[in-house]
Homo-oligomer: A and B are copies of this chain.
Amino acid sequence: ELTSSDFMLPETFQGLNAYQWASIFESLLNSQRLLLWQSVPAELKSSVLSEMREDARGHFLSELSQTNIEEAVVTGSNTEVVEIFDSLPEKTIVRLIKKLAPDSQSQVETSLSYTSDQVGRYANQDVYTIASAAKVNDVLQELKTEEHFQDSHAYVVIDGHGTYVGEVFINELLAAEGAQTINELVHKADTCISSNLSLLEASNLVRGSQRSLLPVVDEQGRFVGNFSIQDALDVFQEHYESQLAHLGQVSDEDLYAPILLSARRRAVWLGINLLTAFLASAVIGLFDKVLIEVVALAVLMPIVASMGGITGSQTLTLAIRGIATGQLNSSNFNYLRRKEVIVAALNGLVWALVVGAIAYVWFDNPLVAIILALALIINMLVASICGIVIPRLLDRVGIDPALAGSVILTTITDVVGFMVFLGGASVIFLS
């Protein structure tokens, strides 16, 4: 039984919107989600499912009964149904499509003809449109009873073939003569989104447009639906959350993902990291003789690796953002690489002096202090170059720099750090 004290549930569920419901569901166990599902108003169920984060929705749907899923799907808009379908097995989708009303069915089929990365899949088709040949008077008459929720001052105008013509503004409709046709008032929109465009590019277009929504148009010029700034916000959030997760070396997972699933997913990241760690160990192993000779080296060597890692990570973080925004490109790459190297050199000099001085006082061994300081500077310089070169190379070969950049960088700063520090020491102390 669900009690409000146990799970921070609100005192009353009245007046909650779909977004708030989705957030509550994400913070519950699957068993609790199933109990609470009965309390969700029927007309919100499809929205709540579509608002949930993908991973949480997937786990919840995997335990929700077929009847419950069907009940939610048949009331949903095409975009909601498609988001729910994204988390269901093919067999279930085929069965559910047949249960939809004919109108919804053809809308959903249009959506599904696009891939999950194309904006056409998520364009809202449930839009009030005005025929370009209509008379102003008739349109104003029709608008009085129009129930479609449309949070915009502009209406989409299409011709008899469904081709997108433009938009008409409400104030111009009011000011026009009743006998004029819409054709005379229509404006071509500044920006249309091509239905094949990627979700992230489409989101950037809406964002830059300063409009609350933009029309999505297919290759034949037909109006597919609207893509709104709310949709764009969802896309951006998912994008940023997955970048954050990958930087933390974890997948973008439901807090309540089943334990074995969580363990298995994280094992992958741990395994990759273990390869890195063994590579670093192998490098250290090359220099076991000098480590026995001068034990201070073993004590100090993590400092070289760690400071290199942070330097590289700083540059990497800015470079990843620069690439994602298109602001780091071939025209300024050389300038920015030079800048990063100079910044690393300045910090390398400063911190090498500090670290060297401390090491000298600690171990009373000037040679160790000098080797440490030099290794630190070299590793920080290498780290800064790698921090900007690696993400650019990854991007060029089509790998997301946020996904792989950090692991590759750490491997290099560990290997180079231990190699330079212990190698240098071997040359000095073993000859």
Within 8 A of B (CB), among A203-247: 207-212, 228-230, 232-233, 236-237, 240-241, 243-245, 247
Nearest opposing residue in chain B for A26, CB measure: B327
CB distance from A341 to the nearest CB of B (A): 10
Name A144's contact: one of B174, B207, B302, B354 (CB within 8 Å): B174
User: Inside 8 A of A292's CB, which chain B residues have their CB?
Assistant: 292, 295
**Which of A244, A288, A316, A330: most chain B CB closer than 10 A?**
A244
Selected from B240, B270, B350, B354, the residue in CB contact (under 8 A) with A347 is B270
Instruction: Count residues of A near B (Cβ-Cβ below 8 Å).
Output: 117
Could you say which residues of chain B place their CB within 8 Å of the CB of A171? 143-146
Please determine whether A302 and B245 come into contact, CB atoms closer than 8 angstroms. Answer: no
Q: How far is the CA of A229 from the CA of B244 in the complex (A)?
A: 23
Q: Which residue of B lies closest to A313 (CB)?
A: B248
Q: Is A38 an interface residue (CB 8 A)?
A: no
Contacts of A310 in B (CB 8 A): 249, 269-270, 273
* A271-299 vs B, Cβ < 8 Å mask (1 yes, 0 no): 10110111011001100100110011011
Residue of B nearest to A174 (CB): B144
B328 and A262 contacting across the interface, CB-CB below 8 Å: no
What 1/0 flags go to A291-321 for Cβ under 8 Å of B?
1100110111011011100110110111011
**A267 touches B (CB below 8 Å):** yes
Smallest beta-carbon distance A323→chain B, Å: 11
Complex interface: chain B residues within 8 A of A151 (CB): 151-154, 211-212
User: Taking the complex as formed, is A253 at the interface, i.e. its CB lies under 8 A from any CB of chain B?
Assistant: yes
- A244 and B319 alpha carbons, distance in the complex (Å): 12
Contact with B along A127-143 (1 / 0, CB 8 A): 00000000000001001
Q: Does A34 contact B (CB under 8 A)?
A: no
Interface check A175, CB cutoff 8 A: yes
User: Is A318 a contact partner of B212 (Cβ separation < 8 A)?
Assistant: no
From 342 to 358 in chain A, residues with beta carbon under 8 angstroms from any chain B beta carbon are 342-343, 346-347, 350-351, 354-355, 358
B317 in contact with A302 (CB, 8 Å): no
Query: A232: which B residues are within 8 A, CB to CB?
Result: 233
Contacts of A276 in B (CB 8 A): 306
Cβ of A89 under 8 Å from chain B: no
- Given the interface pairs A270-B347, A281-B300, the reply to whether A233 lies near B207 with Cβ below 8 Å is yes
Interface residues of A (CB under 8 A from B): 5-8, 15, 17-20, 23, 26-29, 140, 143-146, 150-154, 170-171, 174-175, 190, 207-212, 228-230, 232-233, 236-237, 240-241, 243-245, 247-250, 253, 255-256, 259-260, 262-263, 266-267, 269-271, 273-274, 276-278, 280-281, 284-285, 288, 291-292, 295-296, 298-300, 302-303, 305-307, 310-311, 313-314, 316-318, 320-322, 325-332, 335-336, 339, 342-343, 346-347, 350-351, 354-355, 358, 362, 414
Q: Can you identify 12 A-B contacts, CB atoms within 8 angstroms? A: A17-B209, A27-B332, A29-B335, A229-B233, A236-B236, A236-B237, A237-B240, A259-B346, A260-B346, A267-B347, A274-B355, A291-B298
